[in-house]
Chains A and B, each alone.
Chain A
Amino acid sequence: MHLVVQALILGILTGGVYALMASGQTLIFGIMKVINLAQGAYVILGAYLTMSLFQWTHIDPFLLILLTTPLLFVIGAATQWFLLRPLRPDDAVELSLLVTFAVALGLEGLMSVLYKTTLRSIQPGYENHSWTIAGYQINEVRFYAFLLSIAMLIILYLLLQKTKFGRAVRATVQNPMSAQLLGVNSKLVSAFGFGLGVATSAAAGAVFGLITPFNPGSHYDLISRLLTVVILGGLGSIGGSVIAAMVMGIGAALVSALSEPVWADFTFFAVLILVLLFRPQGMFGTKARGAL
């Protein structure tokens, strides 16, 4: 029982981090109907940026997020503007999928050249501290990471619900054509939305680098988990992806505690297959796809 509760705690904390990563992915899908296969690579890029900046400035990794977020926003918006926007519309879906895949590769190659392929981690000195409450271990970093993820999700929610930009984004998600007719600059919204989705990986990357050792190849691991979360939640539904992230975080932690950690990866694959077989639209996705 102790084991199960401990796994639950770990699962909830990790699930929060997945939720943050998946929200960016979902946002991008919602706006552009593009599955961003580079999201994992952006997260790893965020992790490396945080690591380098931390080694250089010795500012706490959690504060560095304020620096890396705008940076990744610009990188994301540039990706959309220069690589995705020019694609021909008639086979844009297939091509943009492959373009994001190529971007993932390019980032992996770039990071391998700059950082080599040894496993790294961000070590601010308190990464192994934990509190013991009623016999249960709560890792400090994971706890902060969880809080940060929740905070970021709330900011994202407010941004989408309360600002003019958010309204433009939601309008574009619902119906790009009418949004354009009503004066929304859909090209800019796409670039900004993509940038915003990528920007979430700054925080996600910092957190990921704090709780797990990573190398440039880690993005494959991440992206297959992320995509499972996004599909389980229902493509395009941010709320759905948050819940799915929690479910998967807890599920994987339980499997890993009760059997072997290796099988935690297979939990994701098994869930992906089951979802596709029995409920292809995910938990909260609409059949039409693209509801936010």
Chain B
Amino acid sequence: MTRNGLIRAGLFFGVLIALPFFSTSQWLTNMFIFTLMYVALASSWNLIGGYAGYPSLGHAAFFGFGAYFTAIVFTDSVGYGWSPFLFLPVVGISAAIISIPIGYVAMKTRADVFAIVTITLLFMAQTLAFNMHKLTGGAQGKGIAVPSFDPATFGRPFYFGMLALAALAMGASMYFRQSKIGLSLSAIRSDEDKALGVGVQVNRVKVLGFAISVGITAMAGGVWAYYEGFVYPQFAVDPLITIGMVLMTFLGGRATLWGPVLGAFILVPAQQYLSYQLGANQFYLLAYAAIFLITMLVLPRGVIPTISDKIWLKKKQREAQA
């Protein structure tokens, strides 16, 4: 990590850690909880969707897994404090373990068929959540104990929970960029056959990347479930969650560290504002689709790579003139 990079990350997290102590405004905290959740989600999606070029459309299945796992372990009636947060590593590791056989099968295919398998997985997870009544409560949903936090700063623990997950996801992203895993994944993205030919452990790396990615996603699901207090199949295993992750990563710039973060910081506040203004859920499906299409057509590489290319070009031009 360069010095500039360290300063940037230090500033980013410094401001975010200090923020709740300056404002206890509820809507602001709520908005940041969701923004940070999507920073974590999009950054973790980027690990496999960005670096490896395997566009998973099924991450919401693991988000739902994390949400239900947490909800089932901490069912209503007793007030829990921080313990669901301490339980998160178990949620993450379980999701990662479950994802190994799934990843192994799904990644026998290339990008396009992979998307099919994962979208089917998403649908199956939702069907399971609707139908395993004993475990998930079916369509009636599953309640979690109300946390025993001070009402005045109720959102704060969730804020820090999501912030920690965002840091974890960004840390993983950072690590991927500098390590052999990241290199192997980008080799896979450029040309999987060649990567295999030069001795990249293609299968192992892909499955590992997938496991880390969905592990973080599941943990975010766990915090989300505890925050919401109630888990319904249509919200916990929601295609919109997957879409959010993909869209934010693409908008900000995939296979970059800050792209997914920027995407989340643009889209989540916009979405909250839109749903406040328009109310209806259906309209922001349309808005999502429109932003998605515009991003693909106008900024297919995302904001950050496009801008940094421009800056680089300017610099070169200046150097050439000098």
Given the interface pairs A106-B286, A106-B289, the reply to whether A266 lies near B127 with Cβ below 8 Å is: yes
CB distance from B295 to the nearest CB of A (A): 9
CB distance from A229 to the nearest CB of B (A): 11
Interface segment among B19-27, B72-80, B87-95, B112-120: the answer is B112-120
Asked whether A227 is an interface residue with its Cβ less than 8 Å from the other chain, the reply is: yes
Asked whether B260 is an interface residue with its Cβ less than 8 Å from the other chain, the reply is: no
Interface segment among A53-61, A168-176, A218-226: the answer is A218-226
Q: Number of contacts between A and B (CB, 8 Å)?
A: 121
Number of interface residues of A (CB under 8 A): 43
| A:172-205 near B, CB below 8 Å | none
Closest to B104 in A: A277
Given the interface pairs A35-B116, A97-B55, the reply to whether A112 lies near B292 with Cβ below 8 Å is: no
Q: Is the CB of B288 within 8 A of A105?
A: yes
CB distance from B167 to the nearest CB of A (A): 28
Q: Is the CB of A87 within 8 A of B297?
A: yes
If over half of B's interface residues share one DSSP class (helix, strand or loop), that class is named, otherwise mixed; here it is helix
Tell which of B127, B280, B287 touches A265, judged by Cβ atoms closer than 8 Å: B127
Number of interface residues of B (CB under 8 A): 41
Asked whether B148 is an interface residue with its Cβ less than 8 Å from the other chain, the reply is: no
Q: Is the CB of A113 within 8 A of B280?
A: yes
Q: Chain B 288-317 against A: per-residue CB contact (8 Å), 1 yes, 0 no?
A: 111011001100100000000000000000
Q: Is the CB of A112 within 8 A of B116?
A: no
Q: Is the CB of B293 within 8 A of A106?
A: yes
Closest to A272 in B: B120
Complexed CA–CA distance, A91 and B254 (Å):
13
Asked whether A103 is an interface residue with its Cβ less than 8 Å from the other chain, the reply is: yes
Asked whether B285 is an interface residue with its Cβ less than 8 Å from the other chain, the reply is: yes
B131 to chain A: which residues have CB within 8 Å? 262
Q: Is the CB of A228 within 8 A of B109?
A: no
Q: Is the CB of A98 within 8 A of B296?
A: yes
Given the interface pairs A35-B112, A224-B119, the reply to whether A105 lies near B127 with Cβ below 8 Å is: no
Asked whether A71 is an interface residue with its Cβ less than 8 Å from the other chain, the reply is: no
A91 to chain B: which residues have CB within 8 Å? 300
Q: Is the CB of B57 within 8 A of A101?
A: yes
B296 to chain A: which residues have CB within 8 Å? 83, 87, 95, 98-99, 102
- The 9 A-B pairs of least Cβ separation, nearest first, read A109-B285, A106-B289, A112-B282, A109-B286, A102-B292, A224-B120, A105-B289, A227-B116, A224-B123
Give 10 new A-B contacts, CB below 8 A, not counting A98-B246, A220-B122, A273-B105. A97-B112, A97-B115, A103-B293, A109-B287, A117-B282, A224-B123, A227-B119, A268-B120, A269-B121, A280-B108
**Could you list 26 examples of A-B contacts with CB < 8 Å?**
A35-B112, A35-B113, A83-B293, A94-B112, A95-B300, A97-B111, A97-B115, A98-B246, A99-B297, A101-B115, A102-B292, A106-B286, A106-B289, A113-B286, A223-B119, A224-B123, A227-B119, A227-B120, A231-B116, A266-B127, A269-B124, A272-B120, A276-B109, A276-B113, A277-B108, A280-B108
